[in-house]
Structure 1
Amino acid sequence: MTQAQGMCYDGAEVGKHENVSMIRKLKDFEDTDKVNRKREERRRWGVGRKGRAQQGLVGYKYEPGCVQVSSDHSLDTMSLLALLLMIGAAAAVPREDGRIIGGQECEPHSRPFMASLNYGYHFCGGVLINNQWVLSVAHCWYNPYAMQIMLGEHDVRVFEGTEQLMKTKNIIWHPSYDYQTLDFDIMLIKLYHPVEVTEAVAPIPLPTACPMAGLPCSVSGWGYTAVNGEMNLPVRLQCLDVPILDHQDCENAYPGMISPRMVCAGYTDGGRDACNGDSGSPLVCAGEVQGLVSWGQGCALPNYPGVYVKLCEFLSWIEDTMAANP
């Protein structure tokens, strides 16, 4: 199948929830059908900051409702279910070339801080920052009663004995989150109880300073490895080394769309990038988590590097939020 650009721009389920104390009330999302129509338009055209049309601008979340298809037409329910079954079958077969685009399989359990946001399948990444809190991006929000967090995972097909499946107690996204621009695209997830710290499950420190251009980093995830029209869902955690890019290079790639809370990492020549399903996955530099996969123009396209949440700009919010929710 060919890759439909603009897939899964903002795939988070929205609507009313009886426990509004868990998240900021979504007054802009009360008409779910209207929101879904807007979301479909944004997936198709990728309207960015200040309404600028940027075809293919996507938040890198994976969900069944945002499947790569070759047609612009919506799928009916039965067709979508059939397609999802095909994808599930494909995911059950390991692919030797499966990886984050341009990356490779991680050394098993070399990323003990890596989290998978899951509601029956992986749909976004996250990062364990202490024994009871996970960071991810706000556009990955899902009903906290349905979402679970998988830690200690490497091969999603195999029970390795290292996994810890955790229920979520609280999900809090940044009060200034803007789903249109993906500014302030960050949320905290409190686990129902603390994890057991092991070799396969352990938190990673938050940044002590903001990253400088040229700093070597690594991103990991189970997201799509689709390239040149071929779709692949890896079963093993994938890794990719990427450098922090100069802020001006980031601005040049996305004029008027980069806020002070965003940072670009990757390669301007394309071919290496995070992709759909990697949203929320950690960008790790010198043993600290410096960013979260947030959005980009397509995946691995020349002159369009990946855009990440710049975590050094959120340290006070993270600390204050955790302290306010003991």
Structure 2
Amino acid sequence: MRRTKLVTTVLLLALAWTLQLVPAPAGAVVGGRAATPADNPAMAGLVRSGQAAVDSLFCGGSVISPTAVVTAAHCLEGGLKASQIDVVAGGVRLTDPALQRARVSRVIVHPGYDDVRTVHDVAVLLLATPLTVRPVALATPAEASLGAPGAILRLTGWGEQRYNSPESLPDTLRYADIPVVANSACKRLFDVYDAALQLCGRAANNRPDSCQGDSGGPLIGGTAPAVRLVGIVSYSADQCGSPGFAGVYVRVSAERDWIAAAAGLDGPAALLPAQPAAPAVRKTVRTRIGTISCDEDSCSVVVRVSGSGRRDVSSVVVRVRRPEQRGFSATSRYVQARKVAPGVYRARTLLPYGIVNLTAVAFDAAGTQLGVAAREQIEVFDA
């Protein structure tokens, strides 16, 4: 049976320091197949400096130049420094002694990254030494059709092949072909979905699918010689492979100019101006995460909305974020809450074992963010 209990941040930090937390390999492709070097030569992995790749890979990425890798911004949460990260590339097996490895010299996170809505979820890693693998080109705005509904994109990744199952981690890279679905379908699943900056992928019966920890990994489109990086794994809903859900990916064509500038693809590396700030939260709407109760199958999270603007609230979304921790890699997903009484919403979800952070976001009918509540350091464990 699953239960939850709150633990203090101080205790967790002390425990992390004592145990020297090492993340498990990032999630792989549910229902995928073993990859060959030809399936994605530019595939990269983010690993802990000084540790074996097979034991410490925590996110994916793509080599976009000999000295630059693009990944998801949320992979760098938790205060990770460049000196703590290496990049591996040039092979499909994490235990391959010929796998290339380079130290990260600089981490550049998109200045518009919003960890509540998970938009602009992109970061560039600059490398201290060059890799000799073939980089993948970024999809340009003129190539946005590569990510149009109906397009088939190739997903690659290492790690869990079943949700919340570290024992399913493979040594060999896996791949799957994922169809892009209509923006309207994804907007129904996620109020935070932004069609201008994101695309949505879902296979029949949701298999194959990206899974927890696949974050930062690539969606590749086009045909040789015009192969392009079209998407970057960002977030998903509930269990990976669950019927009726989908994975959300950064739309690279929309972020291409920033990525290229940060990586120095168009000249010396320089940062573009930050994106406009997110709409201010209305002070008349207060959002609070209340009772969390779990049974053998799932957990119920109650969200309460109050204040004079309560009636403006059209929907509430709960984000489940598991930070990087011992035995698990960083993951993020969203769950739509159901209104059960005036000002009261309930989200039913399967919380992953370990420490999780919850964020509840209230929206009006136009999709404007009205209120945000966070509850962090919740421990979920077996009874």
Matched AA of 2:127: L
1:194 to partner: Cα distance: 2.0
In structure 2, the partner of 1:118 is 47
Give the whole-Å Cα distance in 1 for the aligned partners of 2:96 and 2:129: 24
In structure 1, the partner of 2:134 is 202
Mapping for residues 33-48 of structure 1, pairs under 5 Å: none
Q: Does residue 24 of structure 2 align to residue 106 of structure 1?
A: no
For residue 82 of structure 2, give the secondary structure of its aligned residue in structure 1.
coil
In structure 2, the partner of 1:132 is 67
For residue 256 of structure 2, give the secondary structure of its aligned residue in structure 1.
helix
Matched AA of 2:40: R
For residue 316 of structure 1, give the secondary structure of its aligned residue in structure 2.
helix
In structure 2, the partner of 1:145 is 83
Report the CA distance shift for 1:246/1:133 in structure 2 as closer, same or farther (over 3 A). same
User: Unaligned 5+ residue runs, structure 2?
Assistant: 271-383
Is contact 2:68-2:126 (8 Å) kept?
Answer: yes
In structure 2, the partner of 1:213 is 149
Rg larger for: 2
1:303 to partner: Cα distance: 1.5
Give the whole-Å Cα distance in 2 for the aligned partners of 1:133 and 1:99: 22
Report the CA distance shift for 1:127/1:74 in structure 2 as closer, same or farther (over 3 A). farther
Normalised by the length of structure 1, the TM-score is 0.67
For residue 255 of structure 1, give the secondary structure of its aligned residue in structure 2.
coil
Report the CA distance shift for 1:125/1:193 in structure 2 as closer, same or farther (over 3 A). same
Match of 1:247 among 175, 183, 208: 183
Mapping for residues 1-326 of structure 1, pairs under 5 Å: 71-73=3-5, 77=15, 100-108=29-37, 110-119=39-48, 120=51, 121-141=56-76, 142-159=80-97, 161=98, 163-196=99-132, 201-208=133-140, 209-210=143-144, 211-227=147-163, 231-267=167-203, 269-286=205-222, 287-298=227-238, 299-321=240-262, 322=264, 323-325=267-269
For residue 103 of structure 2, give the secondary structure of its aligned residue in structure 1.
strand
For residue 126 of structure 1, give the secondary structure of its aligned residue in structure 2.
strand
1:312 to partner: Cα distance: 0.4
Give the whole-Å Cα distance in 2 for the aligned partners of 1:228 and 1:295: 15
Q: Tell me which moved more, 226-235 or 277-286.
A: 226-235
Instruction: List per-residue Cα deviations over 1:55-92 (Å, max 9, x = no partner).
Output: xxxxxxxxxxxxxxx553479749x969x89x97xx8x
Is contact 1:223-1:234 (8 Å) kept?
Answer: yes
Instruction: List per-residue Cα deviations over 1:192-219 (Å, max 9, x = no partner).
Output: 12222xxxx2101111411211111110
Is contact 1:291-1:311 (8 Å) kept?
Answer: yes
Instruction: List per-residue Cα deviations over 1:119-147 (Å, max 9, x = no partner).
Output: 03100000011111110010011310110
For residue 39 of structure 2, give the secondary structure of its aligned residue in structure 1.
coil
Give the whole-Å Cα distance in 1 for the aligned partners of 2:205 and 2:33: 18
User: Unaligned 5+ residue runs, structure 1?
Assistant: 3-69, 92-97
Give the whole-Å Cα distance in 2 for the aligned partners of 1:189 and 1:99: 21
Normalised by the length of structure 2, the TM-score is 0.57
Matched AA of 2:172: R
1:297 to partner: Cα distance: 0.5
1:157 to partner: Cα distance: 2.6
Q: Percent identity?
A: 27
